[in-house]
A and B are shown apart, each in its own frame.
Chain A
Amino acid sequence: MSPSSANFTGKARVALNDPKLRANFRRAMDGLMAKRAAQFTDRAEWTALRARGGEVRTRALAKLPELLERLEQRCAANGITVHWAETTTEANAIVLGILQAAGARKVIKGKSMVTEEMHLNAHLEAHGITTVESDLGEYIIQLAGEAPSHIVMPCIHKNKGEIAELFAQKIPGQRYTEDVDELTAAARRALRGEFAGADAGISGVNFAVAETGTLVLIENEGNGRLSTTLPPLHIAVTGIEKVLEKLEDVPPLLSLLSRSATGQPITTYVNMISGPRKPGELDGPHAVHLVLLDNGRSRVYADPQLRDTLRCIRCAACMNHCPVYTRVGGHTYSFTYPGPIGKILTPQLEGLDCAGDQPHASTLCGACAEVCPVEIPIPKLLVRLRREAVSSASAAVKGGGSGRSLAEALGWRGYAVVFASPPLYRLVSSLLGWFGNWMPAWAPMLKPWTRTRTKPHFAAKSLHQLARERGIDHE
């Protein structure tokens, strides 16, 4: 995506002026926050569980190269073919190659953000392969020709009226109704045929267990299970960071993930995929492939601080609690991962030159880090990325240094000189006290502030001056 089409600030302005969109997000995020809060009422349990979650993910990342090798071996032993993709282009080519070799023309998809990152559907469609999203939310936005606006609830930006209208337009024979059960039934009817007729199923992976070569996939609709068991071919696609060391690492993360994401103690379906149909078995695909995508993750991994980004288990609690995301919605972020996790992940995957405004789209309020189930210090990483953007010697992040301007560098240099020199600071604060309030509210540097607020008023006498006059002890 080009930097201009990824203009966060411009898109935010449009989103903020859409009252329906804002209402949809506010209502939905309020609901998700309340559901999550109801799950973690016991603070000691939450603290202990998230510490465990953080430990599991940190340990897996610490041993990542070794665990990935073990995962490949164990998967191979289970009959799962493992493929490695450095880039999204490679990953798309691998998936297309597997489908073409099998003569597949129709694909049913379970929910997968990594395939969104790859723009896989468009790639397959361009090669004559039909893809149908089977997760209800993904199905809706596919009908609408849109991208997900949330990583767990992809069509959260739409209310039921909008969905009713869409279904009436796009599903043959469907009348306009806002009855949620009827709408769900319509999607279910349409999807049943797609499952039965699919040549292959493509899914994401929540956790890949190195110890046993197991792919863990959680969901609520049964579409994930159907996508991965009904068609003769299953291709699972995920990022290299999703690996866990042991099977016993799975339960604490499942608990954290479902409770943080949707406020459920556990999801309706927990799929543990450990290979294709074995001789004598009655169901399951005949072949299972696992595609492991890097797409910049190795570079994130190489930096000991930025590596924390990769702990993410994609629960979306950070965006549900983000005061910025709640107001601008997911599409404003332009890339696959919106909200706080997107603000730290996207600039690292796409480059600071491309998504450099994202780390600044935060007040650093810390609501995200407070609820993160694996303790990712998101505000600290936002500041780190801001630093990389203006650092002349930055090599840690793609596009590092691209946000540096001479004017800004001089401005901060001036700030440091004045605020580190008591005589200069005294002079400047006196000048501001005398003349600062003369600056008109329409002055260009004040305008962004004064459009919705009155101008701040410099005190006639600073506290330094008052303290001197009133004889407050100075040492």
Chain B
Amino acid sequence: MDRKTVKNSGSSRRDFIQKGMRLTLGLGLAGVAGIASLNAGRENHVWQIDPFKCVRCGRCADYCVLTPSAVKCFHSYDLCGYCDLCGGYLKPDANELGTAAENQLCPTAAIKRKFVEEPYFEYDIDHELCIGCGKCAEGCTAFGNGSLHLQVSHEFCVNCNQCAIARVCPADAFSLVPASEPYNIKGSFTAEGDEIVF
């Protein structure tokens, strides 16, 4: 017997409910997608640190889902004073102004000190060694110009839905920034309300 010809039979009713529910679910899904898509289609965003909010607490090294952390030290050469007595490179109680391991503040010796001319030195960061602990950034900010600062390196970052460091960042320094401008490098990036000073 053809189902459709039988009125009020069990199977035609079930068919009707099935179809009705399918349509309802489909429309519900379309509705949710529609509302969500009001925010979609714009540029992709990636996680980044505002170096002026960052308090260099050291959590970046511990809370990233990656080991070592995707947060690395970045060096804004524009702001660097090329000091011999570098607060970011040397321990405060260093024996001498040299490259000996016991003098270095960096726990992984990720900062390379290069002689430029008397009495100036260039400091470069090896991101393969850097663990993002921020010790150098703290030293540089406390005693120097603050040219060393922490940034999320997009060479490593897997761009989690919810950044595990952002969740514990005490200064709320993490935010999503447009993927076309993925870095907040000090010098070209300034604190809110500040003008660029050179």
Q: Do A and B come together as binding partners?
A: no
